[in-house]
Amino acid sequence: MHHTFLIGLLVLLGIACACAIGPVQQPAFAQKKTDPQPDGKRKDYELRIIRVGNTFQGVRFKVSSGESWVMEGDKYEKIPEAAPVPAGEYDITLVTDDTNWMAFRIDRLSGATWQLRNNKWMKVKEPEDKTK
């Protein structure tokens, strides 16, 4: 009788443990990447920030036009252009040596590149086409 009681108790304990663990989970399948904007529109502004010594530099830009602003304290100041800039798909990279900083802008569609010199975007000259 004592053994029957122990076996019954162990069976009940096993069932309780199995219920507490829950169902065996199936491995997760890769999920499809969802569009971050439900309406299908992409975000047109981006911000690049870099540490320079004990401070930072920040540049906000519009991806579709290349228009850009540098952070000056608590406000943005527009970065002037040396010439008109066509619509495109722009990106900006900031680099530093802990004392000075530089910025480069590229149109990902055409490859056109600008360097920020004296707080003004200057287009980098393209190589001459030697096949002509």
Q: Please indicate, yes or no, whether the overall pTM of this predicted structure exceeds 0.75.
A: no
Q: Do the domain assignments include residue 2?
A: no
Mean pLDDT of 11-28: 51
Q: What's the chain's Rg over C-alpha atoms?
A: 30
Residue 64 and residue 88 in contact, taking contact as beta carbons nearer than 8 Å: yes
CA dist., res. 117 & res. 121, Å (int): 6
Q: Do the domain assignments include residue 36?
A: no
Q: Domain count for the chain, please give it.
A: 1
Q: How many CB atoms lie within 10 A of CB 121?
A: 21
Structure-block tokens of residue 11: 């069976």
CA dist., res. 84 & res. 38, Å (int): 33
pLDDT digits (tens, 9 = 90+) for 38-62: 555 668 999 999 999 999 999 999 9
Q: Is the pLDDT of residue 111 over 80?
A: yes
Q: Do the domain assignments include residue 119?
A: yes
At 64 the three-state DSSP class reads: coil
pLDDT band, very low/low/confident/very high, at 4 (cuts 50, 70, 90)? low
Q: Is the pLDDT of residue 33 over 60?
A: no
Q: Is the pLDDT of residue 23 over 90?
A: no
